Structure 1
Amino acid sequence: MTKPSERAGRGRAARKRAPRSSHGRWIPSAQRPDPLAVLERQSADRLPDLVPVRYGRMAASPFAFLRGAAAVMAADLAAGPDTGLTVQLCGDAHLLNFGVYASPERTLLFDVNDFDETLPGPFEWDVKRLAASVAVAALQNGASRAKAHRAARVATEAYRTAMRRLAGLGELAVWYERIEADDLTALVRPAERARLDRTLAKARRRTSLQALDKLTARGDDGVRRIVEDPPLLERVADLDRVTLGKIFSDYRSSLSEERRLLLDRYRFRDAARKAVGVGSVGTRCFVVLLEGRDDSDPLVLQIKEAGRSVLEAYLPPTAYPHQGRRVVCGQRLTQAASDIFLGWMTGPEQRHFYWRQLRDMKGSAEVETMSSATLRDYARLCGRALARAHARSGDRVAIAAYLGSSDVFDRAVADFSLAYASQNDDDYAALGAGIAAGTVTAAPGL
Structure 2
Amino acid sequence: MDTSPSHTVTLDDVRGAHKMLSGVARVTGMEGSRHLSSLVGAPVHLKCENLQRTGSFKIRGAYVRIAGLRPEERAAGVVAASAGNHAQGVALAASLLGVRSTVFMPVGAPLPKVAATREYGAEVRLHGAVVDETLRAATEYAEQTGAVFIHPFDHPDVIAGQGTVGLEILEQCPEVRTIVVGIGGGGLAAGLAIAVKSLRPEVRIVGVQAAGAAAYPPSLAAGRPVALDSVATMADGIMVGRPGDVPFAVIRDLVDEVVTVTENQLSKALLLCLERAKLVVEPAGASPVAALLAAPRAYEGPVVAVLSGGNVDPLLMQRILRHGMSAVGRYLSLTLRLTDRPGALATLLGVLSVVDANVLDISHVRTDPRLGLAEAEVELHLETKGPEHCDAVGSALEGAGYTVIA
What's the TM-score once normalised by structure 1's chain length? 0.24
- Is the helix fraction higher in 1 or 2? 1
- Is the strand fraction higher in 1 or 2? 2
Which structure has the larger Rg over C-alpha atoms? 2
What's the TM-score once normalised by structure 2's chain length? 0.26
